[in-house]
Amino acid sequence: MQIRPRRSVLYLPGSNQRALEKSKTLPIDAVILDLEDAVAPDQKIPARELVAAAVKAGGFGGREVVIRINALATEWGRDDLQAAASARTAAICVPKMESAEQVHEVAAALEACNAPATIAIWAMLETPRGILNAAQIASAHASTGDGHVGSGKRSARAAHARSTRFYHIAGALCARRARVWSRYCRWCASGFERRR
């Protein structure tokens, strides 16, 4: 398995053309061109076109170029995936992954649009369910690339997701975080009941 250094990964809003161009000059290992949270709803379609054109044009040098799409369940997700596949990005980053079934759905959608087999799937684990199912998500499909634990702003990146052993460790570590989160939610709910 080829190991790529990913010491610095930069998220950029896909709607900002100046930032896209500047990323080609920065000393980073990978860039994630974001079509999801960093882009307002009325800018989703122009951002998709801008990102696809930038990836097709190239000029990123040795930087790994990843496109974060909107979830497939949204009105933009499937068109984002199609655009990313056409641009031949290195990987697509999929938000809020919670199950192996979702990985299979993304893989099937990539296959349906004749995406190159080299495109990896990066799963974002942003919910307790996603964290607890990390091992299953990591081993769900041969295209599963990397996983991100937490939000994009505070991500503990899980490199080389094909190593399920790592995900068992990551899942165990993050399960504690999920339990704390669950206790906090129950505490908030009980406080709400008391105030009613």
pLDDT tens digits along 101-127: 999 999 999 999 999 989 999 999 888
Query: How many CA atoms lie within 13 Å of 43's alpha carbon, on the beta-carbon side?
Result: 15
pTM, 2 dp? 0.74
H or E segment at 145?
Answer: strand 144-149
pLDDT in tens, 40-68: 999 999 999 999 999 999 999 999 999 99
pLDDT score, position 138: 85
Q: Is the confidence at residue 80, as pLDDT, over 50?
A: yes
List the domains of the chain with CATH numbers: 9-195 (3.20.20.60)
Q: Which of 79, 82, 84, 158 is nearest to 122 (CA)?
A: 158
Task: Kindly state the DSSP code that residue 37 receives in the 8-state scheme.
Answer: T
Q: What does the alpha-carbon distance between residue 86 and residue 115 come to, in Å, rounded to a whole number?
A: 7
Cα atoms in the Cβ-side hemisphere of radius 13 Å centred on 58: 3
Cα distance between residue 128 and residue 151, in whole Å: 12
Q: What average pLDDT does the structure give for the chain?
A: 81
Share of the chain above pLDDT 90, in %: 58
